[in-house]
Structures are given as C-alpha cells and as structure tokens.
Amino acid sequence: MSGQVSGVQQRIKETHPYAVYIHCLAHKLNLVLVDCCTVNRSVKTLLNVIGKLYSVFAEPTNHHRFIEVQKSLDMKPTEIAQPSETRWACKWRSLHAVKTHYSAITQCLREMSDEGGKWSVEATGLCEHMGRLSFITCLIVLEDILRVIHVTHKALQSSSLALSEAAVLTDNLKAHFVSQRQTDKWNDVWGSVKQFCRDNNVSVPEDANIQSQTPAGPGPLPKRKRATQPPTSLDNFLITTTLGHREENDVNTVQMSQSETPGFQQHLYFPVLDTIIGELDRRFTGEAVELAQACAAVLRCDKSGIEPLVQKYAQPLKINPHLVGTEMDLVKASTQ
C-alpha cells in the first residue's frame, strides 16, 4: 500500500496528485506501544511473566483451579487473555486481570508449588517474580499507561471517526502523558504501589527511596560508568532527546531485590513516559497529520491553524487564501 515506487498510494497519486496517503493511525499507536514496552528490562520481564501465566492457566486442570479460587474469594471469574505479538494495545486486558485478581493468582501458584506436581517449578518461579516490588511497581505503572492507550486505540478504530477527530485524539494523548511526567503524579503512582502491597501482604522496605539511583546497603561501590559521547555526525545538531541508550547493570535498579533501594521513578517511570512522548512526536507527524490538524482547525473556525490545508488545496479548489480567514471569522461570529 505505502510503497513510494509502485505502491497503491503512488499509483493513485499519478492520476490524483493532490491525494494524501494516510497510514492507519491505530497501527501507528500500536507501534508506539511496542517501543514503550521494550525500552525497559523490567517491562519486558513483566510481559514475559504474564505470558507464562497465560500458558499455566490455559491448561484445563489449572484453569478450573483458578476459577474455583476466584469464586472462593468472592471475585468475578476472569481469565488471563492470550498475549498477542501484533496487537499490543490489547495487552491492557491481561494486565488488568493480573492486577485485579492478583491474590487469586498468587494463591493458585502457591498451592501448585506446594503440591510438587507437574507445574510446581513454573508456579514457584512465577510466584517469586510476582512477589517482587519491581514486578508490582511495573504492573501498576504499565496498567495505568496501557489503559489510556487502550481507550484511544479503540476510538481510532471507529469507522465513523473523522480525520480531524483523530488528530485531536492523538494530541490529547500526548498532552496527557506530558502532564503525567510530574513529580506529584509519580507520588500518586508510588502511593498506589504501596497501597497495593499492603492489600496483598507484600512488604515494602522502609528505606525505599524513589529518587535513588544506586543500591543501598553494604558491599562494594558500583563501578564508575564510562561517559557516553554522541556520534561526531551530530556535532552540528542540538540533541533534545536520548539516543536510544538502554539501562545497564547498576543503572537498572528496578531489577534489584526488595531488600535494596529501588529507583523506579528514574529508571522505569520516566523512561517509559519519555519513550511514549518521543514516539508520538515522531510517528504522528508529516503531511497527513498536519492536514488532519488543519481539518480540526477548520471545524473550530481557528484560522491560525488552517495554513497546511490552504497551501495544498487552495489552487485545485480555486480558493482565495486571503478570503478564507475572513469567511471563518464571519461563520464564527454567527455561531456565538
């Protein structure tokens, strides 16, 4: 479809030069989510654990046990959805199921581990992972982020959605995540983590410092990391974002055990949000997005935002660009 040489979009442009190719915005958002979920090692570990949980509870005997435990705890029976490698926006359902049925899942895993049966090894490992503070923090952070993306993704798939409305949705999504990158927002998230731990009898170390970047306690000091320099090809450019660096060794403190001081804000929360904001900027740009935003400006009678639309279509539609603003002012006045 999108080939620049002989793709469908190029063949259409040969006879309709003013046509604009617009890639599926829902698919673009899905790609943003893929990058978000692979930027951090703890996020990848969380998703791997949830994938293993699906495999364990998809087995008929274990599935029956899971349903019975939920009923005994007065929970509405639910299932962990099968993970998809293409529809990442659907992963919110699995995260939500794990978060809301955490106690039932861990109880099942403990029972299976104590029995020493076929699934005891998998159950023991999964139960150990789910009891870690890093797992719970990642679960709370990612479930909240994916819930917002899930709502936007569903809206972008609507058959009745206009291009101008899609532009507003993506702009609002970016503005939401920019607003979440505030210290007070993180404090709310950390409060939710501690409350979740209290509700599920998971201990949180008293000396947990959410701003710390290095482990606490006895032992040798971490090795000093070699300073990373940008490539010389970028000497004449202003660098405003990270260069794709991944967390390593002592920097990735969210992998530490509960007895160590976590740095979840610096090495989990901010990297995930920054990746989402950066990818939204990168993927939701270009001629198609500019025209979508201009369409939204027309509907708002905002003449300051219609320039991309006027530049492209004023000539073929025989529109006087100097009169469009005046016409919009008159329409806006008549509707007030």
Grade residue 228 by pLDDT with cuts at 50, 70 and 90: low
- Detail the DSSP E strand segments found in 86-181: none
Grade residue 4 by pLDDT with cuts at 50, 70 and 90: confident
The pLDDT assigned to 235 comes to 59
Whole-angstrom distance, CA of residue 62 vs CA of residue 300: 55
Q: Does the structure show a pLDDT above 60 at 233? A: no
Q: Which of 173, 182, 183 is nearest to 276 (CA)?
A: 173
Q: Parse the chain into domains and list their residue ranges.
A: 8-212+254-291, 303-335
Q: Does the structure show a pLDDT above 60 at 218? A: no
Question: If you average pLDDT over residues 232-256, what whole number do you get?
Answer: 48
More confident residue, 49 or 251: 49
The pLDDT assigned to 258 comes to 40
The pLDDT assigned to 242 comes to 55
Grade residue 227 by pLDDT with cuts at 50, 70 and 90: low
The string over 24-46, giving b where at least 16 C-beta atoms fall within 10 Å of a residue's C-beta and e elsewhere, is ebbbbbbebbebbbebbbbbebb
Share of the chain above pLDDT 70, in %: 81
| Residue 224 neighbours by CB under 8 Å, 6+ apart | none
Q: Which of 118, 112, 129, 157 is nearest to 52 (CA)?
A: 129
The pLDDT assigned to 107 comes to 93
Q: Does the structure show a pLDDT above 70 at 214? A: no
Q: Does the structure show a pLDDT above 80 at 295? A: yes
Max CA separation in the chain (angstroms): 80
Whole-angstrom distance, CA of residue 313 vs CA of residue 268: 45
Q: Does the structure show a pLDDT above 50 at 210? A: no
Rounded to the nearest integer, the mean pLDDT of the chain is 80
Please give the DSSP secondary-structure letter assigned to residue 84.
-
pTM for this prediction: 0.74
